[in-house]
Chain A
Amino acid sequence: MNLFQSITSALDNALAKDPTAVVFGEDVAFGGVFRCTVGLRDKYGKDRVFNTPLCEQGIVGFGIGIAVTGATAIAEIQFADYIFPAFDQIVNEAAKYRYRSGDLFNCGNLTIRAPWGCVGHGALYHSQSPEAFFAHCPGIKVVIPRSPLQAKGLLLSCIEDKNPCIFFEPKILYRAAVEQVPVEPYNIPLSQAEVLQTGSDVTMVAWGTQVHVIKEVAAMAQEKLGVSCEVIDLRTILPWDTETVCKSVAKTGRLLISHEAPLTGGFASEISSTVQEECFLNLEAPISRVCGYDTPFPHIFEPFYIPDKWKCYDALRKMINY
């Protein structure tokens, strides 16, 4: 299955297992603009898979309402760039519901899915990676898969998790990534990073599409510099697996973090800060962050903007030679 098919499979499992589950968003009824919800309406009926009008704030607010009564709400925001009208609902309402009601009420049954990340031609409003904005908000969980196999397990975990979750799906991988994915439901635990490749010299951390970039960089480093890299996919951005990352850095002494979002205030700054607190004496070189520029996501300049493997390789080399 490719990524969008694995999402459909996950939603199919969720709707089958949980009779209160509903899927809604803009254009989900016919299958969605990325085909993530194809066939679900025919299978589960139009009262469980339905379209909403063009109103992100309304979609999320509505989703919170459904979740509070105990039904499972799976909302789709058509592009992560459009999530901002709903930002108030997510940050002020969804994230704080349990806390402010002293656990009397909660909207844990809410999951918000949104296509995320650069896609080659998205320009300003179809390429953003807003995970850093939400990482600053206690009360929600932010999850980003790197592949179809991961996506299905993580999405099912988000849906079953008793906290409101935001699930960002790398849109460039929707068709590009293909893997063998089981048809039955399975879960991948949240807040656990995965070490994809063990190494001894440098730790590299990324999530979503960028994981594939750093895997390539790890191969390049091994081949050209004889450097052994440990590659970690963070998977859950909030709450993130500090233990795995810090243990790894304690072993290698060098850390490179990479993401598409702009450098200033990006999630790499949080990881960097925590790691230097925990592993200060283990560090051999300053922590390197290879991220997007501090500009809005450009239209014509995109190939220069994204942190591609050459930029990461260059940063890695500088770290090794520090």
Chain B
Amino acid sequence: MHKMLLAALSRVLQAPAVSGKVAFRVMVASRNYGDFASEATFEIKKCDLHRLEEGPGTTAVMTREEGLQYYKTMQTIRRMELKSDQLYKQKIIRGFCHLYDGQEACCVGLEAAIKPTDHVITAYRAHGFTYTRGVPVREILAELTGRKGGCAKGKGGSMHMYTKNFYGGNGIVGAQVPLGAGIALACKYFGKNEICLALYGDGAANQGQIFETYNMAALWKLPCIFICENNRYGMGTSVERAAASTDYYKRGYFIPGLRVDGMDILCVREAAKFAADYCRSGKGPLVMELQTYRYHGHSMSDPGISYRTREEIQEVRSKSDPITLLKDRMVNNNLASVEELKEIDVAVRKEIEEAAQFATTDPEPPLEELGHHIYFNEPPFEVRGPNQWIKYKSVS
């Protein structure tokens, strides 16, 4: 009787697209109806390779815990970005605000593949990375609203967020990539088996300093992974109109490259693991192109529909949304239930609300701090103000 029940179960559970190996595990774990599988294997897209004999595999294993954690992180980032959108429209956040929604799989997938002791540097679309590198949501939102509880004490704003092993948050396009190579050199020099991820966008890929950096990194075999987050538009210009070659993973020419589906978190994770191992083994740098998409415009002042159609945005949202893809995978492979994921959604919403509350009520940095941290100096010096009678102290 028991055997028949198990046999029936195994037939039923084999219906979703899951490899044969897993069915066994699923069956064993599902002796009780309420339980979930502890892990599942998924097919992922093969990566296009440049100057590489072999790339990351085409299957990835994800455990239930990993899945829930990725889901929670991606959902937090999504809701945080949407909250920032709201706060910006209420003029509580001012200045510039470049939102990351749609691209969550990139930062979460990359973080899953590297260690907290590795280093990351990116451009201005940095809120997602700031979170995955360990800054709590309340500090990110407080930084956006310019309060002293922010991660840069309210003096940086949207584009300048930093934390341990995360070097920002950089406004000038492409300027962060040579910095990334420098960090990679330090990694190699200190010999702690750390690597650096230097991220940039499809627009920045046309900057001269990127090519200078490729040369230096390849010459000195720096443990640097150059990651191009190709969201198809450099501000308002589509990649076809800006680049002579849209194969950004090949742009390193003498540096091997991979092109990765940036909307699939497992694909990003596996590719990043492959790249990290490659760099750590001392073979030199790698270029990774993550094909992704952003739902918002370039920044909050860009509606995002004058250079692309609403239909296009809708299509990506319905077919390739990273959070939905993960959710479907988890539910269809019995790694979680819809209700459980909904509970996570509710918890995330609450966290974001509280963070927003903090961000709107925290006081702004005091005026005395205007002159602080310009230089590193022992005795505080005076910063000259608008005329000879106004001076501010600079302390660091």
The residues of A with any CB-CB pair to B shorter than 8 Å are 26-27, 30, 51, 53-55, 57-58, 81-82, 84-85, 121-126, 263-264, 286, 288-296, 298-301, 304-305, 307, 311, 314-315, 318
Contact A121 B95, beta carbon cutoff 8 Å:
yes
* Residues of B157-194 contacting chain A, CB below 8 A: 157, 159-160, 171-174
Quick one: which of B96, B243, B387 has the most chain A CB within 10 A?
A: B387
Write the B140-159 contact mask toward A (1 if CB under 8 angstroms, else 0): 00000010000000111101
Q: How far is the CB of A238 from chain B (nearest CB, A)?
A: 23
Residues of B within 8 A of A263 (CB): 384-386
- Inter-chain pairs besides A289-B387, A304-B367, A304-B370, 14 sampled, C-beta below 8 Å: A26-B237, A27-B235, A53-B206, A55-B207, A84-B172, A121-B94, A122-B96, A125-B172, A263-B385, A288-B387, A290-B386, A300-B146, A300-B157, A307-B387
- Say yes or no: is B55 at the interface (Cβ < 8 Å to chain A): no
CA gap between A290 and B384 in the complex, in Å = 10
17 A–B pairs (Cβ distance < 8 Å), ordered by A:
A26-B237, A51-B237, A51-B241, A54-B204, A125-B171, A263-B386, A290-B387, A292-B386, A293-B392, A294-B383, A296-B374, A299-B155, A300-B146, A300-B364, A304-B370, A311-B387, A314-B389
Q: Which residue of A lies closest to B208 (CB)?
A: A57
Residues of A within 8 A of B306 (CB): 30
Residues of B within 8 A of A125 (CB): 159, 171-172
CA gap between A57 and B209 in the complex, in Å = 10
Contact B386 A123, beta carbon cutoff 8 Å:
no
Q: Which 10 A-B pairs have the closest CB atoms?
A: A300-B146, A53-B206, A125-B171, A299-B157, A315-B387, A307-B386, A54-B203, A311-B386, A121-B94, A121-B95
Choose among A54, A122, A299, A311 the residue that contacts B173 (Cβ–Cβ < 8 A). Answer: A54
CA gap between A301 and B307 in the complex, in Å = 34
Given that A293-B370, A295-B371, A295-B374 are known contacts, is A123 also in contact with B207, CB under 8 Å in the complex?
A: no
Q: How far is the CB of B345 from chain A (nearest CB, A)?
A: 32
Q: How far is the CB of B199 from chain A (nearest CB, A)?
A: 15
Q: How far is the CB of A125 from chain B (nearest CB, A)?
A: 4
* Residues of B343-379 contacting chain A, CB below 8 A: 364-365, 367, 370-371, 374
Q: How far is the CB of A16 from chain B (nearest CB, A)?
A: 26
- Say yes or no: is B281 at the interface (Cβ < 8 Å to chain A): no
Given that A54-B207, A124-B171 are known contacts, is A264 also in contact with B384, CB under 8 Å in the complex?
A: yes
Q: Which residue of A lies closest to B367 (CB)?
A: A304
Q: How far is the CB of B245 from chain A (nearest CB, A)?
A: 11
CA gap between A123 and B390 in the complex, in Å = 21
Residues of A within 8 A of B365 (CB): 300-301
Chain B interface residue bracket vs A: 35 or more
- Say yes or no: is B236 at the interface (Cβ < 8 Å to chain A): yes
Q: Which residue of A lies closest to B372 (CB)?
A: A295
Residues of B within 8 A of A292 (CB): 386
Contact B203 A123, beta carbon cutoff 8 Å:
no
CA gap between A123 and B158 in the complex, in Å = 10
Given that A51-B237, A300-B146, A300-B364 are known contacts, is A123 also in contact with B384, CB under 8 Å in the complex?
A: no
Residues of A within 8 A of B206 (CB): 53-55
- Say yes or no: is B116 at the interface (Cβ < 8 Å to chain A): no
Residues of A within 8 A of B364 (CB): 300
Q: How far is the CB of A47 from chain B (nearest CB, A)?
A: 15
- Say yes or no: is B90 at the interface (Cβ < 8 Å to chain A): no
Residues of A within 8 A of B370 (CB): 293, 295, 298, 301, 304-305
CA gap between A294 and B375 in the complex, in Å = 11
Residues of A within 8 A of B309 (CB): none
Q: How far is the CB of B317 from chain A (nearest CB, A)?
A: 25
Residues of A within 8 A of B7 (CB): none
CA gap between A51 and B206 in the complex, in Å = 13
Choose among B95, B159, B236 the residue that contacts A27 (Cβ–Cβ < 8 A). Answer: B236
Write the B105-119 contact mask toward A (1 if CB under 8 angstroms, else 0): 000000000000000
CA gap between A263 and B255 in the complex, in Å = 45
CA gap between A16 and B160 in the complex, in Å = 44
Contact B384 A293, beta carbon cutoff 8 Å:
yes
CA gap between A224 and B243 in the complex, in Å = 60
- Say yes or no: is B284 at the interface (Cβ < 8 Å to chain A): no
Residues of B within 8 A of A57 (CB): 208
